[in-house]
Amino acid sequence: MKNYTDINAETIDSWVSQDWEWGRPVTPEEFARAKKGDWKVVLTPLVEVPKTWFEPFLKNGRLDGVKLLGLASGGAQQMPIFAALGADCTVLDYSTKQLESESMVAQREGYEINIVKADMTKPLPFDAESFDIIFHPVSNVYIEKVAPLWKECHRILRPGGLLLSGLDNGFNFLFNEYEAPLKIQNTLPFNPLKNPEQMESLMKDDNGIQFSHSFDEQIGEQLRAGFALVDAYEDFDDEPVTLEVGYPSYWATKAVKLPF
């Protein structure tokens, strides 16, 4: 039987081939605007990451020479923007299609990027204290355990380095359909490796193998790994019914590796 992460990599490749929203690379126009200082990035669907989150590494509007890792951040949506700002970018993903987009845009725009195909459930293939910033959009819904990942992020960041994360808060997993009125159809935690009914539902809808994570896992384990949480915000799915009832689906967090 395939490892669940292999199934997820194949699923995401399929989504990209079907014009998945999170697999569309930036346009030449977006890259050109970023080079002129007009840029934005997201960790979650709707809210832009505040530019203040990149301080103290953002200087005069640029990230020149900053070592930045896009963790499970393939698809050429964020890394080209950071490259346009002068960052020394590495991207890690397990989706071949997402990484092909990174290579395509780098060649198109004439910048270098270190592209790494790897599974973030395993030890990250980087030396200790390799990066200044880790940019980690919503993606750990595709792994069962997040505590080991936070420990690896702490290991590869330099003291004072930033971990910027987009996190699913688990609410999405309560529902199978986003139709009014919303009806709770699942219990938490949502773990299809332990619940055959949940696995069947995901497979039927071609959703890959996804997992809910608690506040303790998403936030508490960051703190226990040695990070200090310094800012955060909530965000929503772009679904009319979830916006109407006002329940947020995501958190974004800015954490700093403590220097001890």
Residues 6+ apart with CB under 8 A from 190: 170, 173, 198, 210, 211, 212
Chain segment 69-98, per-residue pLDDT in tens: 999 999 999 999 999 999 999 999 999 999
Query: Is pLDDT of 9 > 80?
Result: yes
Q: Quickly count: other Cβ atoms within 10 Å of residue 38's Cβ.
A: 10
Query: Is pLDDT of 179 > 70?
Result: yes
Give the pLDDT confidence score for residue 241 in this predicted structure. 87
Query: Is pLDDT of 8 > 70?
Result: yes
Give the pLDDT confidence score for residue 41 in this predicted structure. 98
pLDDT-based confidence at residue 1 (cuts at 50, 70, 90) = low
Task: For residue 114, give the H/E element and its range.
Answer: strand 114-117
What phi and psi, each to the nearest 5 degrees, are found at residue 230?
Answer: -115, -15
- At residue 82, what is the residue type? F
Give the pLDDT confidence score for residue 220 in this predicted structure. 98
Order of all β-strands in the sheet with 157-168 = 114-117, 88-93, 67-71, 131-136, 157-168, 250-257, 227-235
Query: Is pLDDT of 181 > 90?
Result: no
Chain segment 115-173, per-residue pLDDT in tens: 999 999 999 999 999 999 999 999 999 999 999 999 999 999 999 999 999 999 999 99
What's the mean pLDDT in 16-41? 97
Instruction: List the beta bridge partners of residue 117.
Output: 93
What are the C-alpha distances in Å from 184 to residues 145, 172, 174, 175, 236?
24, 10, 5, 5, 18
The rounded distance, in Å, linking the Cα atoms of 229 and 19 is: 35
**Any idea which architecture 4-257 has in CATH?**
3-Layer(aba) Sandwich (3.40)
Judge whether 71 and 92 are in contact, CB under 8 Å: yes
% residues pLDDT > 90 (the chain): 91
Return the domain boundaries, the chain: 4-257
What's the mean pLDDT in 9-35? 97
